[in-house]
C-alpha cells in the first residue's frame, strides 16, 4: 500500500489539476507517481520542469529512457523500472535494449558508453574517475551532453527516491528488476 496519498484530478486544487491535465494530455494517462507528487504542486512542477528542460537537450528521449532504466536498477526502484519500460518503448527503445538497459548495455556502443557513465555517476555518487570521463568523451559525448547525462541521472534519482519512500502503487505492467 502506498505511503503517500494520490490526488484525484477531478478534485485537485486548480494548480494541481492544471499540471495533472498536462500529464494526461502528454501521456494519455496520469501515473500514480505524478498523482502523489500533486499533493504538492511545487514538487510536481519541479519534476515536470526538470524533465521538460532535459527534453530540449541533445540526448534523445530513447537515451534518457535508457538512463532511467540504469538508475532504477541501481536504486532498486521497481516502479521506475516498470514505468520506463513502457515509456522507453514509446520512445523507440528496442525490446532488446529495454532488457539490456538495466545492465548499462545497449546495441549502440555510443549509447552503451552513456549508460555505463550514468551507472558510474549513481554508484559513485558523482565521484567518477578520470577514466569514466575519458570513456564517455571517447564515445563521442561533449561536455554539454555529459551534463545532460548527469541531469538525467539526478532527475531519475529523485523519482526513484520519491517512489521508494512513498511505496507508489504500480500502475504499469510489472517488470522484475534484473539481478
Digit-coded pLDDT (tens) for 118-177: 999 999 999 999 999 999 999 999 999 999 999 999 999 999 999 999 999 999 999 999
CA distance 136 to 121: 12
Percent of the chain at pLDDT above 90? 96
CATH number, domain 61-166: 1.20.1290.10
pTM summary value: 0.95
Dihedral sign, Cα of residue 27, residue 31, residue 33, residue 35: positive
Tens digit of pLDDT for each residue in 75-132? 999 999 999 999 999 999 999 999 999 999 999 999 999 999 999 999 999 999 999 9
**Three-state SS annotation for the chain:** CCCCCCCCHHHCCHHHHHHHHHHHHHHCCCCHHHHHHCCCHHHHHHHHHHHHHHHCCCCCHHHHHHHHHHHHHHCCCHHHHHHHHHHHHHCCCCHHHHHHHCCCCCCCHHHHHHHHHHHHHHHCCCCCCHHHHHHHHHCCCCHHHHHHHHHHHHHHHHHHHHHHHHCCCCCCCCCCCCC
- What is the domain partition of the chain in residue ranges? 9-55, 61-166
Amino acid at each position: 500500500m502506498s505511503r503517500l496519498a494520490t490526488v484525484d484530478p477531478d478534485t485537485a486544487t486548480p494548480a494541481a489539476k492544471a499540471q495533472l491535465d498536462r500529464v494526461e494530455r502528454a501521456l494519455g494517462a496520469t501515473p500514480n507517481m505524478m498523482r502523489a507528487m500533486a499533493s504538492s504542486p511545487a514538487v510536481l512542477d519541479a519534476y515536470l520542469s526538470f524533465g521538460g528542460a532535459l527534453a530540449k537537450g541533445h540526448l534523445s528521449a530513447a537515451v534518457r529512457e535508457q538512463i532511467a532504466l540504469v538508475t532504477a536498477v541501481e536504486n532498486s526502484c521497481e516502479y521506475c523500472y516498470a514505468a520506463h519500460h513502457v515509456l522507453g518503448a514509446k520512445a523507440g527503445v528496442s525490446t532488446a535494449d529495454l532488457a539490456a538497459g538495466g545492465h548499462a548495455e545497449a546495441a549502440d556502443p555510443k549509447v552503451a558508453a552513456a549508460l555505463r557513465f550514468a551507472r558510474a555517476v549513481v554508484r559513485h555518487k558523482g565521484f567518477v574517475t578520470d577514466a569514466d570521463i575519458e570513456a564517455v568523451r571517447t564515445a563521442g559525448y561533449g561536455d554539454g551532453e555529459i551534463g545532460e547525462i548527469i541531469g538525467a541521472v539526478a532527475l531519475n534519482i529523485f523519482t526513484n527516491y520519491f517512489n521508494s519512500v512513498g511505496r507508489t502503487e504500480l500502475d504499469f505492467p510489472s517488470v522484475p528488476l534484473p539481478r
